[in-house]
Chains A and B, each alone.
Chain A
């Protein structure tokens, strides 16, 4: 058996015995000293086990089936390591490791043997063991000989199957790593919240309240940090790599990662109020924190199960029923505990307020709106999948569904954010008046459309037999409606930062304000980039690098002018120029005989002898005259003409052997007369067609860069050119090549970088809150 599996079994039994001993402690009401070491052992075993998996990827041990599936020897080291998290098996192991780190954290704290921590530990260790068990069911350490029994024992594959080339991107490499740290980070808060709910059924106490809040807060923040980063990286990847020109497409799996994020955001707002006063949200806060965990499990299920159809389908595995059971339990348990607690009327003993708008209610409305956003996304992902499973029929829930339903709630949350930040009980009237003013302005703005295309979703343009009235109505809301709430938040942040803060709260407040300011940038970037992107297309002659070719506007937005792009009379004045075009083969050279084209040319130049040469390269232009084929062989840098009696195709990788000849003894007109031509396309990793482009408006250069088309054996990948700017990105897609004509799609995406700046504010803000350690210190029992 593979040592990885042995370690896994050991971890499983260590985990299981820890859980048994922890339960024994509860029954016998005494402490088992050995548990400390068992839990340490559990973490250590998983750590070594996961390191071993990384090692297998590091050395590309392709006799391990999981490694074989997700690696290739030609990957740079970074992508080799990424392979460990590319599939379900490795992910589950990683998750188990992260949970064990949570268990270790509880284990090493000063209060590790307190009743609260011990009970939480049962859950954490239980979950850790559960994940180890799931990993064991479908172990990443299986060898290819176990999976495919017909394979000879001494057979070693030359190379792994490799990842989908779309995934080979630094942002994508980091995406699953950060995502799963975020997912696993919710485990400890979940355990804390569940124990709090259980224990508080027997009566709430200040100690108990402080305990769970102190355990949950910091973990939630860290989880939120990583989830935010992961979602943002996924967005950057989709903007940069998929070539759809969008950072967000409401793909089921993209959306699945947003679902726990939204819930966690809501939960953290509830938690913030609960921290301030334990009588607030005594049920809501722990239930929402627990549900965040349930949704994290659900998101994993969506990502890895293959039930949900999406771009992510290329990493699907059969995780299935165990995750369903876990998600269901994590959903049902907190809900029923919360309900019991509510029915006993023990939780919500809020101070009575005669005003509808008090701080608790404002937070409550915000939390509910987050729940609504969560539910909309959850429904949009789940409903079509369920119907498909039940009946086999498909229903369309496209991006417009998510946009239409989410937008009003989102705007409402922004208004509440402004109110929440400015609200002071002593100056209630002032705050309420401001809220009314901004809400009024928002409603007015919703009706003002400066030009066509300002609708948040242009439903009138959607020619569909079915035009639900409500969708058309909400869709016709003007995008201008995001401005008043944005100004409100900016105003609130400025007002708040003008106040004097207690030194102790400084970092925390800066963090909170930073995050809320971040929303403004994110929505500004999101709205402008999705509504006001202009699109042009251009066809270029490969031979001509002198002319600026006019680009045809496919869709030019009126607002483009504001983003620094000239419109109106100058609409036709956009142009593109092809500065340079190359085809660069990426060849496994050690598998080929002979020399590369450049090397051969260098040799011929220096020796000037007509010795036989053997040269490999990719076929460029092909011309056939009766029985003779003339083609160019290239390595991307230099080209060598070849005369052959064998037919060849453009794009083939060939090994040609023959003698050099020249017309009239002129070395400039040298060519190879081929005697043998061998197709070596198997050694071609990819052929990159690379175009250096300049985009002009009139005579002004507005963007330049390289856009590429990478042709792999069984798929093509487009690497878009993005020339970033503060006000707009110039985004060029290599659409295709036919003969000697290259076609491009050019997009002018406004304010995209403003959105990324908003994400940076999110990240910076939560980091400030984490380092403020608010409600962490002094809460130790």
Chain B
């Protein structure tokens, strides 16, 4: 009986520590204003992003995601944080991450069926190019460069 009590107490303490640790370690993905994915700060709706794009004249990068999609997780942990991609996105684009579970209108507006899905738009809102599905880092990098060169030239 005493042994079992000790085991139980140890077990309960481990579980408590687990809860404490897990709560603190879970990364914040969205708050009221922004979405935080792959080391970047994103607007949550097309409207928000469009206003900023019009002001700054930067092209928009729309990223459609959901929390349950494994390839989105891969994009967010392996592709976006790549230093070069991260820098290009951060400096030259208006970033908009559309959570397809919440923001269904924007998904519909651009005819996006599945996450992940990437879309480049001019500051005026015209589609430059779209990539359905997951893109590996090298491919995304070359697309990013193309879009930027096309814009300046």
Please, which residues of chain A bring their CB within 8 A of the CB of B19? 379
A715 touches B113 (CB 8 A): yes
Interface string of A392-414 (1 = CB under 8 A from B): 11111111010001000000000
B132 contacts partner chain A, Cβ-Cβ < 8 Å: yes
A361 in complex: contacting residue of B4, B30, B39, B73, CB < 8 Å:
B4
B73 touches A398 (CB 8 A): yes
Please, which residues of chain A bring their CB within 8 A of the CB of B27? 395-396, 464-466
Quote the shortest CB–CB distance from B31 to chain A (angstroms).
5
A352 contacts partner chain B, Cβ-Cβ < 8 Å: yes
A201 contacts partner chain B, Cβ-Cβ < 8 Å: no
The stretch among B47-55, B75-83, B140-148 that forms the contact with chain A is B75-83
Quote the shortest CB–CB distance from A517 to chain B (angstroms).
27
Please, which residues of chain B bring their CB within 8 A of the CB of A352? 1
Within 8 A of B (CB), among A360-393: 360-361, 364-365, 368, 371-372, 375-376, 379-380, 383-384, 392-393
A463 touches B77 (CB 8 A): yes
A350 touches B4 (CB 8 A): yes
A313 contacts partner chain B, Cβ-Cβ < 8 Å: yes
* Given A350-B4, A365-B7, A471:B25 Cβ within 8 A: yes
Interface string of B25-60 (1 = CB under 8 A from A): 111111110000001000000000000000000000
B151 contacts partner chain A, Cβ-Cβ < 8 Å: no
Closest to A310 in B: B68
B101 contacts partner chain A, Cβ-Cβ < 8 Å: yes
A405 in complex: contacting residue of B18, B68, B73, B99, CB < 8 Å:
B18
A395 touches B28 (CB 8 A): yes
Please, which residues of chain A bring their CB within 8 A of the CB of B78? 461-463
For chain A, the bracket of interface size reads: 35 or more
B26 touches A463 (CB 8 A): no
Quote the shortest CB–CB distance from A347 to chain B (angstroms).
11
Interface string of B55-93 (1 = CB under 8 A from A): 000000000001111110100011001100000000000
Quote the shortest CB–CB distance from B90 to chain A (angstroms).
13
* Given A376-B18, A392-B32, A393-B28, A246:B7 Cβ within 8 A: no
Interface string of B116-153 (1 = CB under 8 A from A): 00000000000000001100100000000000000000
A244 touches B70 (CB 8 A): yes
Complex CA gap A105/B70 in Å reads 44
B4 touches A394 (CB 8 A): no
Complex CA gap A383/B18 in Å reads 13
A154 contacts partner chain B, Cβ-Cβ < 8 Å: no
Instruction: Give the one of B15, B78, B132 with max A CB within 10 A.
Output: B15
Quote the shortest CB–CB distance from A305 to chain B (angstroms).
14
Quote the shortest CB–CB distance from A378 to chain B (angstroms).
11
B77 touches A716 (CB 8 A): no
Complex CA gap A463/B67 in Å reads 18
B77 in complex: contacting residue of A310, A371, A462, CB < 8 Å:
A462
Complex CA gap A393/B7 in Å reads 37
A736 touches B132 (CB 8 A): yes
A383 touches B26 (CB 8 A): yes
Quote the shortest CB–CB distance from A51 to chain B (angstroms).
35
B4 in complex: contacting residue of A249, A364, A375, A462, CB < 8 Å:
A364
Closest to A459 in B: B77
A372 touches B14 (CB 8 A): yes
Within 8 A of B (CB), among A138-179: none
Closest to A535 in B: B136
Quote the shortest CB–CB distance from B142 to chain A (angstroms).
15
Instruction: Give the one of B14, B30, B31, B70 with max A CB within 10 A.
Output: B70
Complex CA gap A315/B112 in Å reads 19
B101 touches A348 (CB 8 A): no
Quote the shortest CB–CB distance from A383 to chain B (angstroms).
7
B1 touches A350 (CB 8 A): yes
Please, which residues of chain A bring their CB within 8 A of the CB of B69? 311
Complex CA gap A373/B96 in Å reads 37
B22 touches A396 (CB 8 A): no
Complex CA gap A365/B81 in Å reads 41
A735 contacts partner chain B, Cβ-Cβ < 8 Å: yes
Please, which residues of chain A bring their CB within 8 A of the CB of B132? 736
Quote the shortest CB–CB distance from A321 to chain B (angstroms).
22
Please, which residues of chain B bring their CB within 8 A of the CB of A249? 68, 70
Please, which residues of chain A bring their CB within 8 A of the CB of B18? 372, 375-376, 379, 405
A204 contacts partner chain B, Cβ-Cβ < 8 Å: no
Complex CA gap A465/B29 in Å reads 12
* Given A375-B15, A464-B81, A394:B70 Cβ within 8 A: no
A463 touches B82 (CB 8 A): yes
A311 touches B68 (CB 8 A): yes
Closest to A555 in B: B136
Complex CA gap A405/B26 in Å reads 13
A466 touches B82 (CB 8 A): no
B110 contacts partner chain A, Cβ-Cβ < 8 Å: no
Closest to A253 in B: B68
Please, which residues of chain B bring their CB within 8 A of the CB of A348? 1, 4
Interface string of A762-773 (1 = CB under 8 A from B): 000000000000
Closest to B99 in A: A394
B11 touches A368 (CB 8 A): yes
A401 in complex: contacting residue of B4, B26, B28, CB < 8 Å:
B26
- List 9 other contacts, CB 8 Å, given A309-B66, A716-B114: A311-B68, A313-B101, A372-B11, A372-B18, A394-B29, A394-B30, A397-B22, A466-B25, A735-B133
The 3 closest A-B pairs by CB, nearest first: A463-B81, A468-B25, A394-B29
